[in-house]
Amino acid sequence: MAAKTPEDTDRLFVEALNAGRIDDLVALYEPNATLMPSPGKLVTGSAAIRESLGQFVAGKPKMSLSAKLVAQSGDLAVLTAKWDLSMTGPDGKPAHMTGQSMEVVRRQRDGQWLFVIDLPFGASA
C-alpha cells in the first residue's frame, strides 16, 4: 500500500480507516509528521499519531472523502479534501463529523508520498 501520487495519500487513508487497519494508517505518515486529531490539538510522531488514530478506529468509522491537489512543487504537495465521517462515539452513541482538510505530503526516496502535516479540520481550526 504505497501512495504513488499526492492524492493517493487521502484515498489510502480512507481505505485503511474504513477497514480498521491502524498499521496501514500510521504507515501513511512520515515518522515525525504532525496530525491535528481534534480542533486545536496537534500531535507529532508515529506513536502519538497511532494513539490518536486508534481512538477513531475504535469507533468503527465509515468515511467518504473527495481529495483535490492544490499545488505541487517538486517533492512537496498541498492537498485539500472534503470529508464526511460517521462512527460510534466514546459514549457509545452515533457521531457524525464533516470537514475540509488541508495536508502537506512529501515524496520519499522510494517514490511514495507520505503525510508531513495533516490538518483534518483545516487551517481555520
Q: Give residue 118's Cα distance to chain centre.
A: 6
Q: What is the pLDDT of residues 38-76, one digit of tens each?
A: 888 999 999 999 999 998 898 899 999 998 988 999 999
Q: What is the pTM for the complete model shown?
A: 0.93
What are the cell numbers at 39?
Answer: 480542533
Q: Rounded to whole angstroms, how far apart are CA atoms 112 and 49?
A: 19
pLDDT-based confidence at residue 116 (cuts at 50, 70, 90): very high
Sign of dihedral through CA atoms 93, 94, 98, 104? positive
Mean pLDDT across the chain, nearest whole number?
93
Q: Which domains does the chain have, with CATH numbers?
A: 6-119 (3.10.450.50)
> What type of residue sits at position 60?
K
User: Which residues, in sequence order, are bridge partners of residue 98?
Assistant: 84
